[in-house]
Amino acid sequence: MKYQTLRVQWNDKRCFIQIYRPDAKNTINTLMVEELYEVLTQCEDRVNIIVLEGLPQVFCLGADFAEISSEGEDSTGRNNSEKLYEVWVKLATGPYITIAHVKGKVNAGGIGFVAASDIVLADATAEFSLSELLFGLFPACVLPFLIRRIGFQKAHYLTIMTQPVSVSKAFEWGLVDAYEEKSDSILRRHLLRLERLPKSGIAEYKRYMNQLYNKLSADKTSAIEANRKMFLEPQNLEWIYQFATRGKFPWEN
């Protein structure tokens, strides 16, 4: 199957998924969410390991403001938060090992893919940020996954500061599990080790871990409702439109 926002490669018991929207800085649109959900569903029976990658300079920059701004009264794109949350739940709890292989910038919703993955590998160019509060928003759907990975205070700090942190700081905080100057070799080493694990063992282990930490499902309703309210606020939408069309932040009126 051909995808418009992804490049997907099936390799025995591995699936390599590249987020591929180079003209939109790898931002998340409605179609990407649908395609990711479809691929991850296929992976449940087919593979043991999923590797999620972006572009060399940008992994994922979060929501596609251009799509949101162009919708007018049609709120389809801005209300895809439930499906996106389900994509992250699949990464976090599905019967496979998920690896986020990060190069370049990760921002906003892009952090959701990273925080939901079982393993995060990165190179020296990786940097991580949550910019939502600059536009009157906050990462409601990202935070349940991010808090699970790095704890409440570090997730809180990353949210309110809105500025990027380096790969070394992300490693110190536990957002990144391992990094090197060039990360392709570290990815190969991880794959060589992980390919020894049987599918049955992976599935049972992930099921057990989800029972130990089952807050992701419990937090879903409040996260999606908070996200919905933010994207119905006219002032927030005006700031998004201003940035999408003129590249200006709210304080640059």
Task: Show which residues are catalytic.
Answer: 64, 132
| E-state strands within the chain | 6-11, 14-19, 49-53, 58-60, 97-102, 105-107, 119-123, 127-129, 165-166, 178-180
| Identity of residue 114 | V
In contact, 49 and 96? CB cutoff 8 Å: yes
Q: Which amino acid is at 174?
A: G
Residue 1: both structure tokens together:
């199957």
CA pair distance 118, 225, nearest whole angstrom: 26
Query: Side-chain half-sphere of 149: how many Cα atoms within 13 Å?
Result: 26
Looking at this protein, which amino acid is placed at residue 146?
L
CA angle 162, 7, 51 (to 5 degrees): 65
Compute the distance between CA of residue 104 and CA of residue 123 in angstroms, rounded to an integer: 8
**Is the alpha carbon torsion for 125, 131, 132, 135 positive or negative?**
negative
Buried b vs exposed e over 189-199: b needs ≥16 C-beta within 10 Å? ebeeebeeeee
Three-state secondary-structure class, residue 212: helix
